[in-house]
Amino acid sequence: MKVTVIGTGYVGLVSGACLADVGNEVLCLDVDPAKIHTLERGDIPIHEPGLLDVVRRNVAAGRLAFTTDTERAALHGLIQFIAVGTPPDEDGSADLQYVLAAARNIGRHMDDYRVVVDKSTVPVGTAARVQAAIAAELAARGVDIGFSVVSNPEFLKEGAALDDFMRPDRIVVGADDARAIELMRALYAPFQRNHDKLLVMDVNSAELTKYAANAMLATRISFMNELANLAETLGADIEWVRQGIGSDPRIGWGFLYAGCGYGGSCFPKDVKALIRTGHEHGHELRLLDAVEKTNDAQKHRLVTKITARFGDKLDGLRFALWGLAFKPGTDDMREAPSRVVIQELCRRGAKVTAYDPVAMAEAQRVLGGEKRLAYAARPMDALDGADALVIVTEWKEFRSPDFAAIGARLRQPVIFDGRNMYDPTLMRQFGIDYHGIGRRCRRKEEQDGIQHT
């Protein structure tokens, strides 16, 4: 099947590459010539594990190509995916200018029936606006060409996007047109050979499903962070609490880790957009207001712990920081907690030496003006001359470091762990002053009792 994908960001490029990998002829369009040039020379403009190999393999096979030509893109694919950005507007609502521009370009150039698929995360009612934009362009041309608009929200996790696309747990399709539904079923057939994962619903429900999913996950994170902060006051350990509630099958284990807040391109933006959607329709989503406020406050939690230990003025102090990306497996720093931590430490007079396996180039781009920030080539190198280690992203290579070496290389053996990667009792054994999120260092007799039980 011939497929056009408009947008070569995380969603568009992953979708295009995976669709090509099962035999479709895919043309990816982007209006940014620099992105297309990067792709045409055999590289990719984002970091996503495994994606480069899939892109190169399908380009070599002739199934995947790239263009900036909107007419060529509209004429290529029977199915036209819109996978462009929907950044938050000043009022928190999703900015649909790129979605509607893509729709108008399709209407301006299409020469036969098209299925136009909203893959971008968009508010309820967007499909109707896409429909109107295409219809207006066709009317301006004086032509009568049939088309359908479908909502097909993505559920891709950065760092695991290929696996999520190739082995989806559900494929949501919002449509009311039988022909479009059958074409979408045929397109996704290679990804659901084991059993049918296609959930067909009305367009409005499909659009809301994406926002609801991200808002639910964000709510779980903020809930656990609230409990972690309370646990510190009560002398409880959030890790035991996590295990106690996660083992309940009604709750489950996912997204129950306390930390220094969520970030990225999805959760913050989608929570804001859903709050705004509710407001526009006379519904105040008070729970999501609290989720957002809790997360904003949680990003400052590490700095609060640091100033409690070292004082409000941090002049003359240096901090090693491990992890810049908002999560492991990506170089994405949009809304990353590390940005808040770095800015607050530097504002108080401290210097920061940071390390991240993949995000340092992106950090230099977004934080390039911060003169108190330096970068280390290796994680242990960041510790030299530092008064404490601050952990913000839970990369695998940070899970089991040489704690004795950490204590020796730091000027003071202090760790502020924003992802609760280490056991507080073990840290005490290494003589490290450890500060987690909602963690408690158990006394020896408590530990012995737990092990005996």
By annotation, the residues acting in catalysis are 266
311, two tokens: 């004082």
What does residue 201 show for φ and ψ, rounded to 5 degrees? Answer: -150, 180
CA 414 to CA 291: how far, in whole Å?
30
CA 36 to CA 25: how far, in whole Å?
17
CA 29 to CA 81: how far, in whole Å?
10
82, two tokens: 């819109």
What does residue 390 show for φ and ψ, rounded to 5 degrees? Answer: -115, 125
CB atoms within 10 A of CB 183: 20
CB atoms within 10 A of CB 247: 10
User: Cα–chain-centroid distance for residue 332?
Assistant: 8
Residues comprising the chain, all counted = 453
354 with 381: CB under 8 angstroms? no
Give me the residues paired with residue 4 across strands: 27, 80
